[in-house]
Amino acid sequence: MTFEMTVATGRYSGGVAPPTRGASRAARYVAAEAEKGREHLQSAMAFGLFGQKVFEDLCLIFTECKEPGWDGYHAEPVSEAAFHSTAQFLRALPLGMPVPTIGAEADGQLTLEWYRSPRRTLSVSVSADGELHYAALIGASKAYGTEPFFGEIPEVIMNLIVRIMAA
């Protein structure tokens, strides 16, 4: 299970460096240290996704769906690029954020879903090219669209997660 463990720590093959706004040696150092602190907090059951096995679920879905026809019909395989983008998306979620359920789609994308009730749900599909396709139903309101993913959760999606999960 080396692959699973390396994904949980964010150091998987073809690893993605922590997002940084600077290019200097000092900026990279600060970003790396901040990421170490975040990883430590993420490992805590109370704060993090790591303690809630979401990365194990992601690895399991990827393993089951990486071959063509994984659904018994003609489903596209989930690519490593979609897997890595989804892992990076999960790692970018703020501490304490509700954990989504993970699934795969027949077009090869991975899906993250926040579900509170039939009229309060958000689905975010992560494509291999780093696009986030989302659709939400909040009461009578609907929201949908596509946002690029560059290592940080787009504001529109963060706002939808908060609205879906609000009491």
Task: Check residue 142 and give its pLDDT.
Answer: 97
Which stretches of the chain are assigned E, i.e. beta strand?
A: 101-104, 110-117, 120-126, 131-138, 141-148
Among 1-10, 30-39, 60-69, the range of highest mean pLDDT: 60-69
Task: Check residue 23 and give its pLDDT.
Answer: 78
pTM score, whole prediction = 0.72
Averaged pLDDT, 113-140: 96
3-state secondary structure of 53: coil
Distance between CA atoms of residues 70 and 77, nearest Å: 7
